[in-house]
Amino acid sequence: MTEAMPFRNKNEAALLLINIRQLLTLQSSEAGPRRGRDLGNLGLIEDGAVLSVGGKIVSVGKTKDALGDSWIKSNRKKIREIDCSGKVGLPGFVDSHTHPAFTAPRLADFEQRIAGATYEQIAEAGGGIRSTVEGVRKATRSALAGHVLSALHKMLAQGTTTVEAKSGYGLNLDAELKSLEAIGDAARLWPGAVVPTLLGAHALPREYEGREDKYVRIVCEEMIPRAAKRKLARFVDVFCDRGAFSLASTEHVFLAAREHGLGVRAHLCQLSHCEIVPLVKYDPASLDHMDYVGDDDIAALAAQSAISPAHQTVATLVPAANHFLGLGRFPDARRLIDSGVPVALASDYNPGTSPTTSMPFVLSLACTHLKMTPAEAIAAATINGAHALRLADCKGSIEPGKDADLAIFDVADYREIPYWIAGNRCAAVIVAGAWQAALM
Ligand SMILES: [Zn+2]
> What is the whole-number distance in angstroms between the Cα of residue 238 and the centre of ligand 1?
9
**What is the CA(53)–ligand 1 centre distance, in A?**
36
Does residue 2 surpass a pLDDT of 70? no
| Ligand 1 center–CA 78 separation, angstroms | 44
Cα(98) to centroid(ligand 1), Å = 6
Ligand 1 centroid to Cα of residue 165, in Å, is: 10
- Over 70: is that where the pLDDT of 12 sits? no
- For residue 242, report the distance from its CA to the centre of ligand 1, in Å: 15
Give pLDDT tens digits for 236-280.
999 998 888 999 999 999 999 999 999 999 999 787 788 888 899
78-133 pLDDT tens trace: 999 999 999 999 999 999 999 999 999 999 999 999 999 887 888 888 788 888 99
Q: Determine the Cα–Cα distance for residues 92 and 198; give it in Å rounded to an integer.
A: 24
Among 202-206, 220-224, 262-266, 393-397, the least confident range: 202-206
Q: How many angstroms does the Cα of residue 324 sit away from the middle of ligand 1?
A: 13
For residue 99, how far is its CA from the centre of ligand 1 (angstroms)?
6
Looking at the predicted structure, is the pLDDT value of residue 438 above 80? no
CB 197 within 8 A of CB 167: yes
Q: Which residue has the higher pLDDT, 197 or 304?
A: 197
Q: Is the pLDDT score of 343 beyond 90?
A: yes
d(CA 150, CA 437): 15
Distance CA 219, CA 217 (A): 5
C-alpha 140 – ligand 1 centre gap (Å): 23
- Give the model's confidence band at 5: pLDDT under 50 very low, under 70 low, under 90 confident, else very high: low
pLDDT, residue 120, reads: 83
CA of 285 to the centre of ligand 1 (A): 15
Ligand 1 mean position to 348 CA, how many Å? 5
Which of residues 437 and 314 earns the better pLDDT score?
314
Q: By CB neighbour count within 10 A (0-12 exposed, 13-18 middle, 19+ buried), where does 129 fall?
A: buried
Task: Give the pLDDT band (50/70/90) at residue 10.
Answer: very low
* pLDDT confidence band for 440 (50 / 70 / 90): very low
Neighbours of 66 (CB within 10 A): 24
Q: Are 33 and 382 spatial neighbours (Cβ–Cβ below 8 Å)? A: no
What pLDDT, on a 0 to 100 scale, did the predictor assign at position 42? 97
Please tell me the predicted confidence (pLDDT) of residue 411: 98
Give distance in angstroms: CA of 62 to centre of ligand 1: 40
pLDDT digits (tens, 9 = 90+) for 276-301: 888 999 999 999 998 888 888 898 88
Q: What percent of the chain has pLDDT over 70?
A: 95
The mean of the pLDDT values for the chain is 93
pLDDT value at position 130?
A: 80
> Is 144 a residue whose pLDDT tops 60?
yes
Count of residues for the chain?
440
Q: Report the separation in Å between the CA atom of 339 and the middle of ligand 1, taken as the mean of its atom positions.
A: 24
From ligand 1's centre to the CA of 49, what distance in Å?
Answer: 36
For residue 338, report the distance from its CA to the centre of ligand 1, in Å: 25
pLDDT of 424 reads 94
Task: Give 157-177 pLDDT, tens digit per residue.
Answer: 999 999 999 999 999 999 999
Could you give the percent of the chain with pLDDT greater than 90?
Answer: 80
- Find the 270 Cα to ligand 1 centroid distance in Å: 10
315 CA to middle of ligand 1, Å? 13
Q: What is the mean pLDDT of residues 139-154?
A: 97
- Give the pLDDT of residue 30: 81
- Span from the CA of 288 to the centroid of ligand 1 (angstroms): 8
Q: How far is CA 15 from the centre of its chain?
A: 26
Q: Which long-range contacts (CB under 8 A, 24 or more apart) does 210-216 make?
A: 212/245, 212/246, 212/249, 213/249, 216/245, 216/249, 216/252, 216/253
Question: What separation in Å is there between the alpha carbon of 289 and the centre of ligand 1?
Answer: 8
